[in-house]
Amino acid sequence: PFECDGLSVYKQEPLAVVLPNNITQIKKVLEICRKNNTPIVTRGAGTGLSGGATPLEGSVVLGLSKLTQIISIDEEKKIAVLEPGVRNLAISEAAEEFNLYYAPDPSSQIACTIGGNVAENSGGVHCLKYGLTVQNVEAIKMLTIDGEELLLTRQDEGIGLLALMNGSEGLLGVITEITVKLTPKPELARLVMAGFSSVRDCADTVAEIIKNGIIPSGLEMMDKFAIEASEAFAHPGYPLDAQALLLCELDGAIDSVNEDLNKVL
């Protein structure tokens, strides 16, 4: 199962797979691989579709799926400190008692890990309003190939190394701890669905929504092929006579949502 990630078109059997339980073991793996000039490919849950966790020939896969501790949640500061193997959805589940949640929600959030999210700079349906992973990470602890421990934060001066680590696909180091921003749950969320006679009309509506200063929490357009495929698979009740479909989600304070809803309609 480690010869590829979610992009199974490309496969390569690794030399070995290592699943450490702690940072000490990670350092030991890095030391051995460095001395033997062996490539290392870091892996989370392997749900990505970009080939980022595909092994190189003769490489060691360093899987971080066993590092699953939620170290702390600070209700006042609205942050959570996590090991890289914590599942995306588990963050929101743990923060629910504080009426907080982790906003980036990739489609694989039930399985993907926060370490993998950082490596791929994952987004999700709600990234239009709440940003990608890079906008929701406050700090990262990492190890270089030499075993040096680094702490990268938003407050660091000079080159923005924290932002650079987001989307780096494991090329710059091994992530061992992540501090993420938590978002208060909105008072209200409303979903609007509208069918259109053409994709162009649907796209123009998106432009009008944004032009009027409305930032939906989610905004997704589907063409006729996507509508028919979704209806055949999940039977959500989409209008099959539409050439395009727009799903617009608004969330926030009750008055604000209702005001934006009236503008959209």
Percent of the chain whose predicted confidence (pLDDT) is above 90: 96
Mean pLDDT (the chain, rounded): 96
Using an 8 Å Cβ cutoff, are 121 and 169 in contact? no
**Whether CATH 3.40.1260.10 fits 188-264:** no
- 90-130, pLDDT tens digit by residue? 999 999 999 999 999 999 999 999 999 999 999 999 999 99
CA distance 42 to 67: 13
- Partners of 177 in the beta sheet? 141
> What is 70-184's CATH number?
3.30.465.10
User: Among 32-36, 63-67, 173-177, 260-264, which is the least confidently predicted range?
Assistant: 260-264
Q: What is the arithmetic mean of pLDDT over 167-195?
A: 96
Among residues 182, 145, 141, the alpha carbon closest in space to that of 42 is found at: 145
Q: What is the pLDDT of residues 140-150, one digit of tens each?
A: 999 999 999 99
Work out the angle at residue 146's Cα, subtended by the Cα atoms of residues 156 and 174, and round it to the nearest 5 degrees. Answer: 60
At residue 158, the pLDDT reads: 83
* Domain layout of the chain by residue ranges: 16-63, 70-184, 188-264
pLDDT of 265 over the 90 cut: no
Structure confidence at residue 157 (pLDDT): 84
What is the residue whose two structure tokens read 């304070």?
A: 253
- Residue 243: pLDDT band (50, 70, 90) is very high
- Which of 3.30.43.10, 3.40.50.300, 4.10.520.10, 3.30.450.20 is the CATH number of 16-63? 3.30.43.10
The pLDDT assigned to 230 comes to 95
**C-alpha distances in angstroms, 178 versus 92, 105, 109?**
15, 16, 17
The rounded distance, in Å, linking the Cα atoms of 41 and 235 is: 40
The band of 1, judged by pLDDT with boundaries at 50, 70 and 90, is confident
Q: Provide mean pLDDT across the span 178-184.
A: 98
